Amino acid sequence: MEFETIGEVVQVEQVADVNQRLQDGWVILAIATGHRPGGEPWIQYVMGLPYEDEDEEDEEEGEDD
């Protein structure tokens, strides 16, 4: 994946949020792990929403004619 195609980036910790964003067309760019100050482990997902493909939109618009 080329990062030039990503229009928006967010950091997400909840798996349910990750799964919902994946269904909405987001992609996982990176996964980071670590420990909170109390020793509790954490995992963080960096997700990106690709720009819409303008060529693809033009093709879809042409299909309606």
Residue-level pLDDT, tens digit, the chain, 65 residues? 778 899 999 999 999 999 999 999 999 999 999 999 999 999 999 999 999 876 555 555 556 55
Q: What contacts 26, CB < 8 A, 6 or more positions away? A: 47, 48, 49
Predicted structure pTM score: 0.73
Helix (H/G/I), strand (E/B), else coil: 14:
coil
**At residue 20, what is the residue type?**
Q
Find the helix or strand (DSSP H, E) in which 56 lies: helix 54-63
